[in-house]
């Protein structure tokens, strides 16, 4: 069923129901859909009530024809999903790469790399405690072409595959198999613990780069918790 409501000669509301898909309005005053979707101006969005929960934002003209085109694209799966996102960083070549909603697929779902992702919130004390450890791990592994160490701020970004069960949540996406569910890290949040997790799950075997200062090689089991 397709229904339009007109106010002051402008289309303000589109409501469309098609199996498991619904188009709903967001009004002028701030409103939230779920915990992550906030608008401060009038918008039209569509979302799937299926398990994927994907959202689609109308970005065309607010005319009858423009909205009809949006609905047609939605029902025929021709629209690109909308993800809440910060701007893509202009430079993103540090040891820990930054993922946002708009570049998650490029950064995290690169099939050529095993990817470790920390999903964090800026206010989270445990995330703040993890940061120096995570940075040390990333710097020690920097230069290994098959590995990518990533983090994403879940207060400002989202993606269907970035699911948290608390902060921080650390996920591993295996190279060549990014279509499967990621592996959640539940070990010790130390450099050693994270390193052993990577060694165990990496689809592409890797070796540690030689450290800047020469020292006798250690077995993984002998590595102190906060160094490699």
- Domain ranges in the chain? 2-75, 96-222
Peptide bond before residue 168 is cis, with ω within 30 degrees of 0: yes
pLDDT, residue 212, reads: 66
Q: Tell me, what's the pLDDT at 133?
A: 98
The Cα–Cα gap between 105 and 100 comes to: 9
Can you give the pLDDT at residue 98?
98
pLDDT of residue 210: 81
DSSP designation for 220 = G
Task: Indicate the range of 10-14, 140-144, 197-201, 216-220 predicted with least confidence.
Answer: 10-14
pLDDT at 156 over 90: yes
Instruction: Look at residue 18 and tell me whether its pLDDT is greater than 50.
Output: no
- Give the count of alpha carbons within 13 A of 21, CB side only: 16
CA 182 to CA 174: how far, in whole Å? 7
What was the pLDDT predicted at 192?
Answer: 97
Pairing of strands 43-48, 55-57: antiparallel
> Which tens digit of pLDDT belongs to each residue from 92-120?
999 999 999 999 999 999 999 999 999 99
> Would you say domain 96-222 falls under CATH 3.40.30.10?
yes
What was the pLDDT predicted at 97?
98
Please tell me which residue, 24 or 134, carries the higher pLDDT value. Answer: 134
Q: What is the pLDDT of residue 70?
A: 83
DSSP per residue, the chain:
-EEEEEETTEEEEEEEEETTEEEEEE-SS-EEETTTEEESS-EEEEEE-STT--EEE--S-SSHHHHHHHHHHHHTT-SPPP---PPPPS---SSEEEP-TTTHHHHT--TTSEEEEEEE-TT-HHHHHHHHHHHHHHHHHTT-TTEEEEEEETTT---TT---SSSSEEEEE-TT-TTSPPEEP-S-SSHHHHHHHHHHH-SS---PPPPSS------GGGS-TT--
Express each pLDDT in 59-72 by its tens digit: 888 787 888 888 88
Least confident of 20-34, 80-94, 191-205: 20-34
Q: Over the stretch 173-192, which tens digit does the pLDDT of each residue have? A: 999 999 889 999 999 999 99
């Amino acid at each position: 069923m397709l229904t339009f409501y007109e106010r002051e000669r402008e289309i303000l509301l589109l409501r469309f129901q098609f199996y498991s898909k619904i188009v709903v309005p967001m009004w002028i005053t701030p409103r939230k859909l779920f915990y992550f979707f906030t608008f401060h101006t009038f918008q039209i969005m569509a979302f799937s009530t299926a398990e994927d929960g994907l959202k689609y934002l109308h970005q065309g003209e607010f005319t009858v024809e423009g909205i009809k085109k949006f609905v047609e694209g939605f029902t025929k799966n021709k629209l690109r999903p909308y993800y809440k996102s910060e701007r893509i960083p202009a430079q993103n070549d540090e040891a820990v790469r930054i993922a946002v909603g708009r570049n998650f697929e490029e950064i995290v779902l690169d099939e050529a790399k095993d990817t470790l992702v920390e999903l964090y919130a800026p206010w989270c004390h445990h995330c703040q405690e993890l940061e120096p450890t995570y940075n040390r791990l990333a710097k020690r592994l920097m230069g290994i072409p098959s590995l990518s160490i990533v983090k994403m701020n879940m207060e400002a970004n989202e993606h269907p595959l970035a699911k948290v069960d608390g902060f921080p949540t650390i996920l591993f996406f295996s190279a060549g198999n990014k279509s499967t569910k990621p592996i959640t890290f539940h070990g010790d949040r130390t450099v050693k613990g994270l390193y052993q997790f990577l060694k165990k799950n990496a689809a592409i075997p890797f070796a540690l780069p030689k450290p800047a200062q020469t020292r006798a090689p250690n077995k993984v089991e002998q590595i102190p918790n906060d160094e490699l």
